[in-house]
Amino acid sequence: MSTIEAEVDALRAEALEALAQADDEAGREAWRADWLGRKDGRLTLRLRSLKDAPPDQRASLGKSLNALKSTLEGELEARREAARADALATLSADAALDVTLPGRPQSLGRLHPVTQTMNDCIDAFAEMGFRVFEGPEVEWARYNFDAVRIPEDHPARDMWDTIWIDTLIDGERKMLLRTHTSPNQIRVMEQTEPPVRVIVPGKCYRQEATDATHEWMLTQIEGLAVDEGVRMSDLKGTLYAFARRLFGADRQIIFHHSYFPFVEPGVEMAIDCFLCRAGGDDCRTCHGTGWIEILGAGMVHPEIIENAGYDSSRHTGFAFGVGIERVAMLRWGIEDIRHFYQNDLRFLRQF
């Protein structure tokens, strides 16, 4: 063995031994600086001193030292790679998490179920070209009743028990909390010309005792479409699309006869019971009838069309009113309407 080889072998052995001793990244970094550091690493210095070696040995010594250098670099990289692999193995085995522990809490808010349901209803009708309009909750008696053909002495007033406001304007104009969103049919038609295609969301109020299905403050969405060629079959098509959008694509709807003074003909719409699938006599939702009533609708009364200044022989229209709480109760199986305005987090955060 030549002296060169012996020297290089000795260096290799010493370096590798030192590397084996370095069992963490700091140790490996110190080893790297010690042996391969650019300024004063031992191998760096040795390579730098090649110029002092006898010329005949210079080439073979250089070759051996450079080979050693790449060996050491390779070895260092291999050790580092092994350490990374070890660390990862430890991380996924010994340091494995109990992934079922609770996540770090974030603050989360939700929209009220009535708002969510209203938004879904608005989206459904907006897709069919309905624009949103809003009107006042405190309303003139004239708009709420007289203008929609419910005169003061008519028993139809009993259909809407009214909360009145104790202030009379100009000594004669009565204010009330609107009992339905229907006065906005008039407000919309007063402000625009056909074609009319609007929905009007908003709160309504009834002077009535509350129970599991009745609340004195409620939320409605009114729909109105008036134009030449608006037909009752369009009403059915519009509400069919709405019912399928909110309650599932396999929903069926039926109309049955009803009476609202501001429409003629007037109907109520029911959807087939998606809870019992028309199965059980004991279904709490449809009471065994297989049908759930969800809204009132009809063709806008020709007098109302005329009063708006439209020509009822040319312009026809339909209107409908949906109770949002009722829709929300159906879609989530909420059993008591009185939950909605109690603001109990234990209720609200379920939606």
Partner 1 sequence: MKLPLSWLRDYVDVDLPPAEFAKRVTDAIAEVEGWEVIGEQWDPELVRVAEVLAVDPHPNADRLVLATVNVGEGPKTVVCGAPNVAAGQRVAFATEGAMLVDGHSGKLSKLKLRAIRGVDSAGMVLSEKELGLSDDHEGILVLPEDSAIGAPLVDAIGDVVFDVSTWANRADLLGILGFAREVAAVTGKPLREPDRSYTESERQAADFVSVTIEAPDLCRRFTASIVEGIELGPSPPWMQQRLIRAGMRPINNVVDITNYVMLETGQPLHAFDYDLVRGAEIRPRRARAGETLTTLDEVERDLDPDMLMICDGEGPVAVAGIMGGGNSEVSESTKTVLLEVANFDPGSIRRTSTQLRLRSEASLRFEKGIGPDLASYAQARALHLLEQVAGGRPAAGLVDAFPTPLASPRITLPAARIEQVLGIPIEAAEVRRILTALGFEVTESGDAFEVTPPFWRPDVDLPDDVIEELIRVYGYEKLPTTVLRGSLPEAQPRPLERVRERSRALAAGLGFQEVLSYTLTSGEILSRVVSPDDADRAGPLAATNPVASQHTYLRTSLRGSVLAAYAGNRHHEDAAMRFFEVGVEYLPTEADLPHERPVLCAVLGGQRLERWERPGPERLDYFDAKGAVEALLDDLGVAAAFTPVEEYALLPGHTAAISVGEETVGLVAQVHPDVAATFDIEEPVFLFELWFEPLTRAIPERPAYAPPSRYPEARRDLALLVPADTPASATLEVIRTHRARGVRISADVFDEYRGEGVPAGQKSLAIALRFRADDRTLGEKDVVRIEQGLLRRLEQDLGATLRT
**Binders of partner 1 in range 129-148 (CB under 8 A):** 129, 131-132, 134, 136-140
Catalytic residue among 148, 160, 200, 226: 160
CB–CB of 67/11 below 8 Å?
A: no
63 near partner 1, rule: CB under 8 A: no
- Angstrom distance (rounded) from CA 129 to CA 127: 5
Burial readout 197-214 (b: 16 or more C-beta within 10 A, e: otherwise): bbbbbbebbbeeeeeeee
Task: Give min distance, CB of 299 to partner 1, in A.
Answer: 6
18 among known catalytic residues: no
Decide if 273 contacts 303 (C-beta within 8 A). no
According to CB under 8 A, which residues from 178 to 197 bind partner 1?
192, 195-197
* Catalytic residue (choose from 79, 206, 301, 339): 206
Please say if 206 is a catalytic residue: yes
Which residue type occupies 188? Answer: V
Our CB check for partner 1 shows the closer of 31 and 340 to be: 340
Active-site hit among 220, 230, 267, 270: 220
Give the count of residues interacting with partner 1 (CB under 8 A).
94
Residues numbered 262 to 321 that lie near partner 1 (CB under 8 A) are 264-268, 287-289, 299, 301-303, 316
Q: What contacts 24+ positions apart, CB below 8 Å, involve 21-26?
A: 22/79, 24/83, 25/80, 25/83
Q: Is 214 a catalytic residue?
A: no
Is 235 in contact with 297 (CB distance < 8 Å)?
yes
151: contact with partner 1 by CB under 8 A: yes
CB 224 within 8 A of CB 188: yes
Question: Which CB atom, from 47 or from 217, has the smaller least distance to partner 1?
Answer: 217
Residue closer to partner 1, measured from CB, 31 or 318: 318
Torsion 80-81-86-90 (CA) sign = positive
Collect all residues with Cβ–Cβ distance below 8 Å to 68 and sequence separation of at least 6.
8, 11, 12, 15, 43
Interaction between residue 348 and partner 1 (CB under 8 A): yes
Least Å from the CB of residue 73 to partner 1: 35
What is the distance in angstroms between the CA of the first residue and the CA of the last residue of the chain?
83
Instruction: Let me know if 180 is a catalytic residue.
Output: yes
Q: Cβ(12)–Cβ(71) under 8 Å?
A: yes
Stretch that binds partner 1, among 3-11, 13-21, 42-50, 168-176 (CB under 8 A): 168-176
Using the minimum distance from each CB to partner 1, give the nearer residue, 253 or 330.
Answer: 253
28 in catalytic set: no
Site string for partner 1, 212-251 (x = CB under 8 A): ----xx-------x-xxxxxxxx-xxx-x-----------
Q: Is 350 a catalytic residue?
A: no
Interface of this chain with partner 1, residues 88 to 127, rule: CB under 8 A: 102, 104-112, 114-115
CA dist., res. 149 & res. 147, Å (int): 5
Q: What would the two tokens of residue 5 be?
A: 């080889």
Smallest separation (angstroms) from partner 1 to the CB of 75: 40
Residues annotated as catalytic are 160, 180, 206, 220, 263, 319
